[in-house]
């Protein structure tokens, strides 16, 4: 397990999937971690840039259950995308002689839905956050309209950590706005960032 009982997580960079799609497994494998095996992690997170739609989606790979979940906020079932990710995992399985059990494809139907054409990046960040904890994504598009979610992401990036994992573990999501306000007051770096965009 990872920090504080959370799953251990490997995150592919944003160049990985486009390279995998256009150049194939052999040309892309050098983008995998050199000193670590992805199969040693509990969860792998793969951002997916879908160039034909100018859209970001997300693959959550549960290495223990061998399930690949496509998280697309536009609710499209992209079989090609799932096939590319699973083919990569099968090739990597063979390369490291890990195991040959089949991978399970999942496209959850009850995930949050994006109605506009510009919030896919925020959805991806929030999908990744929930997948990194193996929890269900329970936010709505309405939640994104309030500054709370975007400031949360800003704080997490500025501090290079997830401030609010304890709130999720203790079921105190409804206390997020108050917690956010306290963190903003405490963080001089965040005050500088917020000041620069006002």
Tell me what the pLDDT averaged over the chain comes to: 76
Q: Is residue 165 part of a domain?
A: no
**More confident position, 124 or 3:** 124
Across the range 10-36, mean pLDDT stands at 88
User: What per-residue confidence (pLDDT) applies to 198?
Assistant: 43
Q: Is residue 68 part of a domain?
A: yes
Q: Provide the CATH number for the domain around residue 53.
A: 3.40.395.10
Q: Is residue 97 part of a domain?
A: yes
Q: Is residue 196 part of a domain?
A: no
User: What per-residue confidence (pLDDT) applies to 86?
Assistant: 94
Which residues have CB under 8 Å from 15's CB, separation 6+? Answer: 31
Q: Is residue 157 part of a domain?
A: no
pLDDT in tens, 186-196: 555 555 555 55
Instruction: Please say if the pLDDT value at position 2 is more than 60.
Output: no
- DSSP conformation letters of 56-101: EEEEEEETTTTEEEEE-TT----HHHHHHHHHHHHHHHHHHT---P
- Asked if 11 contacts 48 with a C-beta cutoff of 8 angstroms, the reply is no
pLDDT in tens, 28-46: 888 887 778 899 999 999 9
pLDDT in tens, 134-175: 877 766 666 656 556 777 777 777 766 665 554 544 445 555
Q: Is residue 101 part of a domain?
A: yes
Element counts in the chain: helices (H) and strands (E): 9, 5
Q: Is residue 198 part of a domain?
A: no
Percent of the chain predicted with pLDDT > 90: 22
Q: Is residue 123 part of a domain?
A: no
Strand (E) or helix (H) holding 10: strand 9-11
User: What per-residue confidence (pLDDT) applies to 166?
Assistant: 47
Report residue 72 CA to chain centroid gap. Answer: 11
Domain that holds residue 74: 3-115
What domain count does the chain have? 1
């Amino acid at each position: 397990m990872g920090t504080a009982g959370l799953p251990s997580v490997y995150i592919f960079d944003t160049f990985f999937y486009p390279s995998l799609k256009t150049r194939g497994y052999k040309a892309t494998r050098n983008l995998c971690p050199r000193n670590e095996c992805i199969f040693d992690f509990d969860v792998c997170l793969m951002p997916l840039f879908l160039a034909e739609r100018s859209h970001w989606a997300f693959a959550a790979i549960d290495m223990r259950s061998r399930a690949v979940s496509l998280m697309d906020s536009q609710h499209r079932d992209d079989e090609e995308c799932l096939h590319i990710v699973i083919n990569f995992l099968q090739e990597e399985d063979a390369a490291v002689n890990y195991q040959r059990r089949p991978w399970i494809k999942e496209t959850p139907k009850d995930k949050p839905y994006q109605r506009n054409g510009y919030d896919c990046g925020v959805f991806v960040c929030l999908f990744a956050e929930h997948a990194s904890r193996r929890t269900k994504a329970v936010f709505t598009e309405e939640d994104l309209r309030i500054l709370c979610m975007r400031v949360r992401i800003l704080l997490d990036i500025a501090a290079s950590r997830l401030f609010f994992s304890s709130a999720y573990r203790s079921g105190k999501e409804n206390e997020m706005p108050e917690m956010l306000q306290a963190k903003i007051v405490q963080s001089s770096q965040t005050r500088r960032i917020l000041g620069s965009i006002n």
